[in-house]
Amino acid sequence: MMPSLRLSGQRALWAMAGVAIIGVVLPLLLRSDFWLNFAIMVLFFTVLGQAWNILGGYGGQFSFGHAAFFGTGAYVTAVLQVKFGINPWLGFVLAGIGGGLVGAAIGFLSFRYGLRGSYFALVTLAFAEVLRILANAAAFTGGGVGTLIPLKQTAANFQFVDKTGFYFVIFALMLIGLLLAYWLENSRFGARLMAIRENEDAARALGVNAFAIKLGAISLSGALAGLAGAFYAQYFLYLDPRLAYGPGISVEALLVPIIGGMGTIFGPLLGATVLHVVGEIARKVMGDAVGLNLALYGMVLVAMVLFLPNGIAGLARRQRLKPKEERL
């Protein structure tokens, strides 16, 4: 059973207000493009990690294939913009819908036949790989060459002259992710989802429709991951199947909440910050060695499982409660 690491409702709201204030002020303090880009990538992976956290952290349904949702959102906005001339802001919304629909399809096929645990994880990984192969073979995605989005730097075209515009878009998306997590912790839907995480059979016995709740969770998770994919496409203006549906995205999606604290509001934000600080330090020390990031992620994951199974949020909670235990 996962220990409760939740903040009280009022404390969580105050913490989110603090994050919002810091986030608005931060671009005024970051004078270089390097640090602004660093902040954007931390927020980007916070959103992606929060998408995984909705399903894996709160629902206990571990996915190894969130790239399926991310890549779908990225390709929806890119293909609609390049091939059909659809405004990328509309494509951004459609990307979230596309990611949610893929999540619903995978969830229906998985949960309908009672797949759980490692079986569900492997199915999600398989779907991501199938979509990568299809994107690599399809003509409308550009195949293995990829899709290049034309440069047209106007806010109406979702392309900003400087990185500050992108920062506020991903910051707003991160706040939406925090609000979704807060809603899960304070709603009946979230309570039922967490009951399924703790003991699905017991939840069913109490009248919880586990299939419908899990289907709703994976759809919500897929929609948020799809929005992250759409942002990625507009920020980098290039996609190929390996980037969109590759294992690197899925690994970071699950690693971020595991490091920060699964099933918590701020776990993905903490995890993304720590992971990318460590990554930047490693690159400064060791250079851009091929495969360095994956090797580093593997070492961090093993260390977290061994020494901090509840993530940074669990460590913070333990330190907060320690004086009380010592007084007893």
Kindly state whether residue 266 falls inside one of the protein's structural domains: yes
Q: Which residues pair with 239 in a beta bridge?
A: 147
Select from 248, 193, 282, 227 the least CA-distant residue to 77.
Answer: 227
Residues 6+ apart with CB under 8 A from 161: 153
Kindly state whether residue 187 falls inside one of the protein's structural domains: yes
Yes or no: say if 253 and 55 are a contact pair by the CB < 8 Å rule: no
- Furthest C-alpha separation in the chain: 68
**Within the chain, where are the H helices?**
9-29, 33-52, 67-84, 88-111, 117-137, 163-185, 188-198, 200-205, 210-236, 241-245, 247-260, 267-286, 292-307, 311-327
Kindly state whether residue 209 falls inside one of the protein's structural domains: yes
Kindly state whether residue 110 falls inside one of the protein's structural domains: yes
Residue 263 sits in a domain whose CATH number is: 1.10.3470
Query: Considering its fold, how many domains does the chain have in total?
Result: 1
Residue 196 tokens read as 């399924």
Instruction: DSSP letter for 319, please.
Output: H
Kindly state whether residue 2 falls inside one of the protein's structural domains: no
Kindly state whether residue 4 falls inside one of the protein's structural domains: no
Kindly state whether residue 3 falls inside one of the protein's structural domains: no
Kindly state whether residue 1 falls inside one of the protein's structural domains: no
Tell me the whole-structure pTM to 2 decimals. Answer: 0.91
Q: How far apart are CA 69 and CA 258, in angstroms?
A: 19
Q: How far apart are CA 229 and CA 231, in angstroms?
A: 5
**How far does CA 25 lie from the centroid of its chain?**
24
Rg of the Cα atoms in the chain: 20
Q: Can you give the pLDDT of all 328 residues of the chain as single tens digits?
A: 555 556 667 788 889 999 999 999 998 888 788 899 999 999 999 999 999 999 999 999 999 999 999 999 999 999 999 999 999 999 999 999 999 999 999 999 999 988 988 999 999 999 999 999 999 999 889 888 889 999 999 999 999 988 999 999 999 999 999 999 999 999 999 999 999 999 999 999 999 999 999 999 999 999 999 999 999 999 999 999 999 999 889 988 999 999 999 999 999 999 999 888 887 777 776 666 656 666 776 777 777 777 777 778 766 655 555 555 554 4
List the domain range (segments joined by +) for residue 155.
9-327
